[in-house]
């Protein structure tokens, strides 16, 4: 078995002493103590990108705030997660995003914006992230006006999971975008349509075509959907699937990010190969 | 690393030739029809060739074409989307074919050059139908307005380099760091050695690494890039790392507006940088040295490359340097127009062929630096101080300056000053005295920007400020990189702050939300301020933006992106505004 | 292997191993999520060598790809063994402690010199030496394989040759070292575990063992035939002889998937009665006398499947099946009922608990545990047992856990049954692509942006010799049949080798070409090695 670090460290978070294994992040330590910290670019199946800065906390001795998702607990550290200073930074991050992006399909961000008293009215004619929606195939769509550049899709496409590297961040600063080389359409890129980028997107900038079409038809009803865990049939690896169904119809497939087999990632067959379940009959393609 | 897919865009013959002649060992090697060598490790090891490869394509075609990029990416086995992401990160690379042929003129529009009439220069060239690009500071503030030219098939050039170097402190025998400026021939290693060159290396080899480290610690030398971290501590940390591969990096990506000292060091005393890096290599057990120099410094690059070849030929670089058991060699890497790459971890990423985005610290470079390995990183000014300390000894070194700021410091004076240029003075000389040494202010002094765009403004009331690290800190300003930009009363400071805000907006790498969006919002508010100055809402917004960038950004760029503007507001340099 | 029908290792182990030997497997395309684990290992510094006739997507990640000629695996493996012994890199202590038959084995492989293997495989001797030394000297190492090893007339010998390498070096029975066959369907492992083998009852218990049968008979309520049944290839032979006249097929499409498929179709058509239970009216179902409509196993049914790491996991019904479709277990149960059986277990969980009472390796796996623990890896003999991440740890125990040492096997190189001839001078091998699956019954249900249909991949050299252009439609024949298809010129393809998938039988009936010579030990046909010829089509018909 993998060697487990057996040394423990203690940190004080909001005055609560938390003992954790060495290497644990402040975020994990806080969560284990029941303290919630908002995160956007963090995911348990990805390397911390450190990009959104929503999870910043105050650590005694640090000149600036520190991102709790990546900062490892140092023994004896004194950490505060809910000071005015922390509150101000989180509010500003949320304001910046709300003033730049369409966040309407990100329930978490909408809720936090309320919680942190976000006021976008004070920004006059702010520059926005604007982009045409990209519908290039039957499997998923890209709407980058919702993209908050959290890097999750790039990491999932890259060396955190898929190692396909069809997309990367291109450009710089406010003009930075998730892009293929020279912005070629996805079907011309290296993309293998595993959909792992869609699986990790927190703002629905990337979404499955099934969801997009249902939303377009005003028929996307998350509250009426059920999720059933099962196992993919397309090879012998045993990937855990979560089938999201609405009206006895599969509308989306995900995988639990804490599952030892998949870490939440799937391949094109597992992600999209379910459609035959609803086919009235087997229709082989016509010879060309 | 990936089972890569490359698009249909194919390179032309010249692009193939350029890439093939540059990459001596490809990431994938065929050993007959049935055996192919490749793999993750080889790809990783080749990746650092991406940046120089992109330079070659840019230079040969005037842009980086899809076919050329594909080919380079294939040879190095870099995913094309990532290669594109890297190419689009830098100002000096174009990924669209220029609509106007001919050379690209980069003209600095930052404060010192703006004061010196860069707008006129720009429109004059534009009027001839040629291409111009409004550039951030080009590091030639002493001879503003500055220009840098890229031309297809020709070496990048700075027209002003033809004029030669004029040293305002020429003949001053008290100079330490600048003692060889204008004295030794920067193209001759013999001239260097006959002016004290390589004495320090000999000494270092003689006294051994522990003695070098304790000497450095005793000297009190701290980094001259702005953060002022103790150099001896840094070197010792790397020396004590148990790793088979370590690096010495010279951070010569001098990009802080108003700063040009490292350029002049490399142009006038290139061997000194190399010697000091060699000492760092020997002392810390590192065998690989890298100089990351900004792309806009062609003369300095040329002279460094020349010096490295001479040093190699003379046995001062390579295996068994200077007859010792140590090996050390240096590669030069050119930046490509990105202020952020002066941030040390962004610099590492840039060398590695990644986008020049800063990393989260910790881990620090001493444990995980270039290629994730222990790394000493210093700028040229810091490095040449090491020679001075070893040659003259700790006591002599500390006899100048103050207890907490020992030695001398280089200052770059620009703007409304009689003799703009590079000055070496002992720490502790007052701001006013330095201005007098440089011939005094031209016009009535309104403010001085200390430490460049990332620094702070001070007003005339601070002329008595002793130029030391401790006094600067106590007065809520910074020496930063040693840039002092002087503004007379004739300058509209609203324009200056707007340009500063634009600078950060343009130079933010875009990685973290506070800086990516904050720099834009800050610029927008400054553009919205009318002649009466910021109203209360605007001021509050600027303060909030400043707070989040300063508190929650990843790196120093974001942390300081509002500091000069905030100081201008605090000093009342902008109209005071409606209530 | 070593008496148990399952891969030795957990997926997580390949993340921690030092050396990955990928042999006859394009896991990148066929087992993409397993390959994620491999990639984690490579990112952490593991070396990877790939042995495959094609430089597949997987092989492109390898530090060294060895493009052996199709069917020369034993020659390579035995030469590796010989080199490891000759270079004194074998794990003498382990061999002494945990294995038997080493001396005979060393004698046996002595003739498999590097030079001979180089001549046979086409791969130069240096590369073979580098592979042998790399594998032997790695602190931990895993061999991964798929059908490139097993779909040969001597697939079992191929596997045993790989086992020899593990025994020689001690790369088995420890975390990070092992032998990992990757299964092609979600329950290939589970099918075997449940006794869907001619000679085994559930839990790999021998049908010839009286006490075993007695145990099962007491629960099943009837006698069990002690004679082993027939495996698939023998069934077809029995059909050809007229000995087997009734066939009940559940969820398989042999009328498209079998090698030499024209022959198969004829045999199926000549049966007295053919019953097919499936979710679609497949080509096989169209031949049936009775079709029993079933539910989709993983989306409309309850039960368990077992993965390549021996992990038993739950499948659940997410949607209700259409019309009169019924669960497989219901249909089988009803049939049994009509035949007079009185089975008491009626729900999937009851059936599972019945299995647990009969198969000790499953005994500890309650539905509750499977639910809460993300599945369990067999053997899991009691409810306190955590499951078994890797097998054969006993090889390293002082007393071998009281078992007999693991034997070396003497395997002999013999190339593909079908050698190339002047009439059929090209080698055809088959395999999967990323977005499709088997005969396409399921995967044709969705539109894949990366699907490019069925074509014959050939080398630039062969294309030039045959005067063919990329995309040209050609005639492809083997001794068994002929199809027309488009060619695709693959720059990486070795001259003389062609490749195609079998996912689109409605477009290209590829299995008309493949060879049904089968392995007497496993019954698996030699899909991986047929001989073919390519002819240009008459002018005017070759484009389209």
Q: Which CATH class is domain B493-570?
A: mainly alpha
What does the pLDDT read at residue A156?
97
Q: Which residues pair with A253 in a beta bridge?
A: A243
Residue B165 binned pLDDT confidence (cut-offs 50, 70, 90): confident
SS3 assignment for B235-304: HHHHHCCCCCCCEEEEEECCCCCCCCHHHHHHHHCHHHHHHHHHHHHHHHCCCEEEEEECCCCHHHHHHH
pLDDT at A285 over 80: no
pLDDT at A92 over 50: yes
Is residue A141 less than 8 Å (CB to CB) from chain C?
Answer: no
What does the pLDDT read at residue C160?
95
Distances (CA, A) of B61 to A171, B54, B106, B153, B204: 20, 11, 18, 8, 46
Inter-residue contact C535 to C431 (CB < 8 Å): no
Identify the CATH number of the domain defined by range C426-536: 2.40.40.20
DSSP 8-state assignment for residue C125: H
What does the pLDDT read at residue A288?
35
What does the pLDDT read at residue C539?
77
Distance CA B549, CA B513 (A): 9
pTM: 0.95
pLDDT at B578 over 50: no
Is residue B83 less than 8 Å (CB to CB) from chain A?
Answer: yes
For residue A127, give both structure tokens: 């520059």
User: Is B81 within 8 Å of A92 when comparing Cβ atoms?
Assistant: no
* Domain residue spans of chain B: 13-87, 104-163, 189-397, 401-488, 493-570
* Residue pLDDT, tens place only, B476-515: 999 999 999 999 999 999 999 999 999 999 999 999 999 9
Distance from CA of A238 to the nearest CA of C (A): 5
Point out the residue among B3, B34, B39 whose CB comes nearest to the CB of C48: B39
Distances (CA, A) of C324 to A17, B550, C321: 61, 66, 8
Domain C188-377 falls in which CATH fold?
Rossmann fold (3.40.50)
- What do you get for the CA distance between the two ends of chain B, in Å? 58
What does the pLDDT read at residue B540?
96
Per-residue pLDDT, averaged over B185-198, amounts to 97
* Interior angle at CA A228, CA A227 and CA A230, nearest 5: 145
What does the pLDDT read at residue C221?
87
Nearby residues of C465 by Cβ (< 8 Å), 6 or more positions away? none
What does the pLDDT read at residue C451?
85
pLDDT at B579 over 50: no
* Residue pLDDT, tens place only, A210-238: 999 999 999 999 999 999 999 999 999 99
- Tens-level pLDDT at each residue, chain C (544 residues): 555 577 899 999 999 999 999 999 999 999 999 999 999 999 999 999 999 999 999 999 999 999 999 999 999 999 999 999 999 999 999 999 999 999 999 999 999 999 999 999 999 999 999 999 999 999 999 999 998 888 888 989 999 999 999 999 999 999 999 999 998 888 889 999 999 999 999 999 999 999 999 999 999 888 999 999 998 889 999 999 999 999 999 999 999 888 888 999 999 999 999 999 999 899 999 999 999 999 998 999 999 999 999 999 999 999 999 888 999 999 999 999 999 888 888 899 999 999 999 999 999 999 999 999 989 999 999 999 999 999 999 999 999 999 999 999 999 999 898 999 999 999 999 888 888 888 787 888 888 888 887 899 999 999 999 999 999 999 999 999 999 999 999 988 999 999 998 888 878 888 888 888 888 887 788 888 999 999 999 876 654 4
Point out the residue among B33, B36, B40 whose CB comes nearest to the CB of C43: B40
What does the pLDDT read at residue A5?
52
The residue behind tokens 């011309």 is A188
Q: By CB neighbour count within 10 A (0-12 exposed, 13-18 middle, 19+ buried), where does C69 fall?
A: buried
Q: Where are the beta strands (DSSP E) in B33-100?
A: 35-37
What does the pLDDT read at residue C2?
59
Of chain B, the percentage scoring pLDDT greater than 90 comes to 91
- Evaluate whether the domain defined by C11-181 bears CATH number 3.50.50.60: no
SS3 assignment for C219-274: HHCCCCCCCCCCCHHHHHHHHHHCCCCEEEEECCCHHHHCCCHHHHHHHHHCCCEE
User: Is C435 within 8 Å of A193 when comparing Cβ atoms?
Assistant: yes
Q: Which residues pair with C181 in a beta bridge?
A: C145
What does the pLDDT read at residue A2?
42
Distances (CA, A) of B208 to A95, B205, B279, B392: 56, 5, 10, 17
Q: Which of A88, A80, A86, A55 shows the shortest CA–CA distance to A70? A: A55
* Interior angle at CA C378, CA C372 and CA C381, nearest 5: 90
- What do you get for the CA distance between the two ends of chain C, in Å? 49
User: Is B514 within 8 Å of A92 when comparing Cβ atoms?
Assistant: yes
CB atoms closer than 10 angstroms to residue A219: 11
* Interior angle at CA B310, CA B306 and CA B316, nearest 5: 130
Domains C11-181 and C188-377 share a fold: no
Q: Which of C524, C537, C531 shows the shortest CA–CA distance to C498? A: C531
What does the pLDDT read at residue B2?
53
φ/ψ of A254, rounded to 5, equals -130, 180
Q: By CB neighbour count within 10 A (0-12 exposed, 13-18 middle, 19+ buried), where does B173 fall?
A: exposed
Which is more confidently placed, A29 or C540? A29
Residues spanned by CATH 3.10.20.740 within chain A?
8-84
pLDDT at A3 over 60: no
* Residue pLDDT, tens place only, B306-360: 999 999 999 999 999 999 999 999 999 999 999 999 999 999 999 999 999 999 9
Inter-residue contact B161 to B304 (CB < 8 Å): no
- Taking contacts as CB-CB distances below 8 angstroms, the residues of chain B near C66 are 34-35
φ/ψ of B210, rounded to 5, equals -60, -40
Distance CA A9, CA A27 (A): 14
- Taking contacts as CB-CB distances below 8 angstroms, the residues of chain A near C302 are none
DSSP 8-state assignment for residue C390: S
- Taking contacts as CB-CB distances below 8 angstroms, the residues of chain C near B45 are none
The residue behind tokens 């559930």 is C202
Q: By CB neighbour count within 10 A (0-12 exposed, 13-18 middle, 19+ buried), where does C333 fall?
A: middle
* Residue pLDDT, tens place only, B234-275: 999 999 999 999 999 999 999 999 999 999 999 999 999 999
DSSP assignments along A190-203, one per residue: S-----HHHHH-SS
Distance CA B262, CA B253 (A): 9
What is the CB-side half-sphere exposure of residue B229 using CA atoms within 13 A? 15
* Interior angle at CA C311, CA C308 and CA C312, nearest 5: 120
Domain B13-87 falls in which CATH fold?
Arc Repressor Mutant, subunit A (1.10.10)
Q: Which of B325, B328, B318 shows the shortest CA–CA distance to B288? A: B328
| Prediction ipTM score | 0.95
Q: Which of C180, C75, C177 shows the shortest CA–CA distance to C136? A: C177
Domain A8-84 falls in which CATH fold?
Ubiquitin-like (UB roll) (3.10.20)
Distance CA C539, CA C529 (A): 30
Q: Where are the beta strands (DSSP E) in A116-211?
A: 134-135, 140-142, 168-170, 177-179, 206-208
Longest dimension (CA), chain C: 74
Domain B401-488 falls in which CATH fold?
Ubiquitin-like (UB roll) (3.10.20)
- Evaluate whether the domain defined by A134-278 bears CATH number 3.30.70.270: no
Q: Which of B169, B172, B177 shows the shortest CA–CA distance to B392? A: B177
Superfamily (CATH) of domain B104-163 = Glutaredoxin (3.40.30.10)
Distance from CA of C275 to the nearest CA of A (A): 18
Q: How many helices (H) and strands (E) does chain B have?
A: 24, 15
Is residue A241 less than 8 Å (CB to CB) from chain C?
Answer: yes
- Taking contacts as CB-CB distances below 8 angstroms, the residues of chain C near A287 are 506-507
Is residue A80 less than 8 Å (CB to CB) from chain B?
Answer: no
- Taking contacts as CB-CB distances below 8 angstroms, the residues of chain C near B35 are 64-67, 123-124, 127
Q: How far is CA B470 from the centre of its chain?
A: 24
Residue A283 binned pLDDT confidence (cut-offs 50, 70, 90): low
For residue A142, give both structure tokens: 């890209």
Domain B189-397 falls in which CATH fold?
Rossmann fold (3.40.50)
Residues spanned by CATH 3.30.70.20 within chain A?
134-278
φ/ψ of A207, rounded to 5, equals -145, 155
* Residue pLDDT, tens place only, C386-432: 999 999 999 999 999 999 999 999 999 998 989 999 999 999 998 88
Per-residue pLDDT, averaged over A9-15, amounts to 96
Q: By CB neighbour count within 10 A (0-12 exposed, 13-18 middle, 19+ buried), where does B23 fall?
A: middle
User: Is C33 within 8 Å of A267 when comparing Cβ atoms?
Assistant: yes
* Domain residue spans of chain C: 11-181, 188-377, 426-536
């Amino acid at each position: 078995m993998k060697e487990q670090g057996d040394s423990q460290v203690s940190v004080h978070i909001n005055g609560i002493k938390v003992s954790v294994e060495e290497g644990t992040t402040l975020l994990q330590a806080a969560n284990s103590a029941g303290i919630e910290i908002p995160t956007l670019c963090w995911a348990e199946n990805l390397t911390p990108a450190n990009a959104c800065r929503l999870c910043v906390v105050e650590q005694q001795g640090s000149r600036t705030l520190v991102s709790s998702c990546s900062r490892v607990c140092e023994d004896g550290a004194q950490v505060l997660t809910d000071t005015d200073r922390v509150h101000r930074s989180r509010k500003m991050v949320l304001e910046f995003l709300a003033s730049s992006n369409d966040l309407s399909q990100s329930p978490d961000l909408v809720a936090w914006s309320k919680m942190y008293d976000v006021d976008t009215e004070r920004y006059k004619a702010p520059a926005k992230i604007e982009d045409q929606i990209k519908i290039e195939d039957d499997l998923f769509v890209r709407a980058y006006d919702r993209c908050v550049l959290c890097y999750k899709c790039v990491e999932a496409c890259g060396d955190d999971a898929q190692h396909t590297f069809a997309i990367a961040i291109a450009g710089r600063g406010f003009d930075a975008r998730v892009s293929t080389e020279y912005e070629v359409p996805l079907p011309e890129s290296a993309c293998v349509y595993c959909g792992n980028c869609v699986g990790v997107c927190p703002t629905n900038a990337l979404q499955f075509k099934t969801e997009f079409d249902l939303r377009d038809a005003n028929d996307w009803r998350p509250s009426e959907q059920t999720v059933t865990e099962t196992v993919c049939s397309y090879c012998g690896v045993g990937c855990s699937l979560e089938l999201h169904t609405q009206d006895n119809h599969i509308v989306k497939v995900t995988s639990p990010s804490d599952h030892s087999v998949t870490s939440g990632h799937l391949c094109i067959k597992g992600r999209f190969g379910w459609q035959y379940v609803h086919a009235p009959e087997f229709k082989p393609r016509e010879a060309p | 690393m990936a089972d890569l897919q490359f698009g249909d865009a194919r390179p032309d013959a010249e692009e193939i030739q350029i890439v093939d002649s540059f990459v001596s060992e490809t990431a994938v090697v065929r050993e007959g029809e049935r055996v192919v060598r490749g793999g993750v490790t080889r790809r990783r090891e080749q990746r650092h060739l991406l940046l120089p490869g992109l330079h070659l394509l840019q230079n040969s075609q005037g842009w980086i074409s899809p076919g050329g990029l594909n080919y380079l990416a294939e040879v190095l086995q870099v995913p094309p989307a990532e290669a594109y992401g890297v190419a689009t990160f830098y100002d000096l690379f174009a990924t669209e074919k220029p609509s106007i042929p001919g050379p690209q003129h980069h003209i600095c529009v930052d404060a010192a050059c703006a004061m010196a009439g860069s707008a006129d220069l720009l429109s004059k060239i534009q009027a001839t139908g040629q291409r111009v690009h409004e550039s951030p500071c080009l590091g030639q503030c002493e001879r503003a307005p500055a220009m840098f030219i890229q031309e297809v098939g020709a070496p990048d050039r700075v027209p002003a380099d033809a004029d030669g170097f004029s040293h305002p402190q020429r003949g001053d025998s008290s100079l330490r760091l600048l003692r060889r400026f204008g004295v030794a021939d920067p193209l001759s290693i013999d001239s260097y050695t006959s002016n004290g060159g390589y004495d320090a290396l000999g000494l270092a080899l003689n006294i051994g690494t522990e003695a070098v480290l304790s000497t450095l610690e005793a000297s009190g030398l701290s980094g001259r890039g702005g953060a002022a971290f103790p150099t001896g501590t840094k070197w010792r940390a790397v020396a004590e790392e148990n790793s088979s591969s370590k690096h010495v990096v010279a951070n010569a990506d001098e990009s802080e507006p108003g700063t040009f000292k490292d350029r002049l060091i490399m142009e006038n005393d290139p061997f000194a940088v190399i010697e000091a890096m060699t000492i760092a290599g020997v002392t810390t057990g590192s065998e690989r040295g890298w100089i990351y120099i900004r792309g806009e410094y062609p003369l300095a690059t040329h002279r460094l490359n020349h010096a490295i070849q001479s040093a190699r030929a003379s046995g001062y670089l390579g295996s068994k340097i200077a007859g010792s058991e140590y090996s050390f060699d240096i590669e030069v890497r050119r930046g490509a127009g990105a202020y952020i790459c002066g941030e040390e971890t962004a610099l590492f990423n840039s060398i590695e062929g990644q986008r020049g985005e800063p990393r989260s610290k910790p881990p620090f470079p001493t444990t995980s630096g270039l290629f994730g390995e222990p790394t000493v990183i210093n700028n040229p000014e810091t490095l040449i101080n090491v020679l001075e300390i070893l040659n003259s000894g700790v006591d002599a070194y500390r006899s100048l300056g103050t207890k907490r700021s020992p030695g001398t410091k280089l200052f770059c004076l620009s703007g409304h000053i009689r003799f703009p240029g590079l000055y070496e003075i002992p720490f502790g000389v007052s701001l006013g005295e330095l201005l007098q040494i440089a011939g005094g202010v031209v016009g009535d002094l309104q403010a001085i920007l200390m430490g460049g765009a990332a620094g702070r403004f001070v007003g005339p009331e601070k002329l008595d400020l002793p130029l030391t690290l401790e006094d600067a800190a106590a007065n809520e300003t910074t020496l930063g990189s040693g840039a002092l930009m002087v503004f007379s009363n004739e300058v509209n400071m609203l324009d200056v702050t707007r340009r500063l805000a634009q600078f950060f907006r343009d130079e933010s790498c875009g990685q973290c939300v506070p800086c990516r969006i904050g720099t834009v919002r800050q610029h927008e508010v400054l553009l919205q301020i009318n002649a009466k100055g910021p109203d209360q809402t605007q001021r509050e917004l600027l303060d909030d933006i400043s707070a989040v960038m300063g508190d929650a950004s990843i790196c120093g760029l974001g942390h300081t992106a509002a500091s000069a503007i905030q100081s201008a507001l605090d000093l009342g340099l902008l109209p005071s505004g409606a209530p | 292997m070593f008496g148990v029908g399952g891969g030795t290792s957990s997926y997580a182990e390949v993340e921690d191993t030092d050396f990955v030997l990928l042999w006859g497997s394009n896991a990148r395309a066929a087992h993409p999520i397993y390959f994620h684990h491999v990639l984690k290992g490579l990112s952490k510094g593991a070396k990877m060598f790939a042995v495959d006739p094609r430089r597949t997507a997987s092989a492109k990640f390898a530090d060294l790809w060895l493009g052996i000629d199709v069917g020369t695996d034993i020659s390579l493996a035995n030469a590796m063994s010989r080199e490891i012994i000759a270079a004194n890199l074998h794990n003498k202590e382990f061999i002494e402690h945990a294995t038997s038959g080493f001396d005979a084995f060393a004698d046996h492989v002595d003739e498999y010199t590097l030079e001979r293997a180089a001549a046979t495989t086409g791969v130069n001797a240096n590369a073979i030496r580098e592979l042998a030394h790399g594998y032997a000297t790695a602190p931990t190492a895993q061999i991964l394989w798929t059908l490139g090893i097993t779909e040969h007339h001597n697939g079992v010998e191929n596997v045993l040759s790989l086992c020899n390498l593990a025994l020689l070096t001690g790369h088995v029975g420890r975390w990070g070292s092992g032998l990992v066959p990757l299964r092609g369907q979600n329950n290939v492992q589970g099918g075997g575990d449940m006794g869907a083998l001619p000679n085994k009852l559930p839990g790999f218990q021998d049908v010839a063992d009286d006490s075993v049968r007695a145990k099962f008979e007491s629960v099943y309520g009837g006698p069990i035939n002690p004679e082993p049944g027939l495996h698939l290839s023998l069934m077809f032979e029995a059909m050809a002889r007229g000995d087997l006249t009734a066939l009940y097929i559940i969820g398989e499409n042999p009328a498209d998937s079998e090698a030499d498929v024209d022959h198969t179709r004829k045999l199926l058509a000549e049966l007295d009665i053919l019953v097919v239970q499936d979710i679609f009216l497949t080509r096989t179902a169209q031949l049936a006398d009775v079709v029993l409509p079933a539910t989709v196993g993983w989306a409309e049914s309850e039960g368990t499947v077992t993965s390549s790491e021996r992990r038993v996991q739950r499948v659940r019904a997410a949607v209700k099946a259409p019309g009169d479709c019924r669960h497989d277990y219901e249909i089988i149960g009803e049939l049994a009922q009509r035949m007079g059986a009185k089975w008491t277990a009626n729900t999937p969980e009851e059936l599972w608990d019945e299995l647990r009472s009969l198969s000790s390796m499953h005994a500890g796996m309650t539905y509750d545990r499977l639910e809460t623990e993300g599945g369990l890896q067999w053997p899991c003999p009691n409810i306190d047992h955590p499951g078994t991440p890797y097998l054969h740890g006993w090889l390293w125990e002082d007393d071998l856990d009281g078992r007999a040492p693991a034997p070396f096997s003497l395997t002999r190189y013999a190339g593909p049954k079908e050698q190339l001839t002047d009439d059929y001078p090209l080698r055809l091998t088959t395999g999967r692509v990323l977005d499709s699956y088997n005969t396409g019954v399921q995967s044709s249900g969705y539109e894949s942006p990366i699907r490019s249909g069925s074509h014959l991949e050939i080398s630039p050299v062969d294309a030039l010799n045959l005067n063919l252009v990329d995309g040209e439609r050609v005639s492809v024949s083997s001794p068994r049949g002929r199809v027309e298809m488009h060619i695709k010129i693959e720059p990486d393809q070795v001259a003389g080798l062609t490749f195609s998938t079998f996912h689109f039988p409605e477009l290209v009936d590829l299995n008309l070409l493949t060879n049904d010579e089968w392995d007497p030990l496993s019954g698996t046909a030699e899909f991986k090695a047929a001989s073919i010829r390519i002819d240009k089509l008459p002018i005017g018909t070759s484009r389209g």
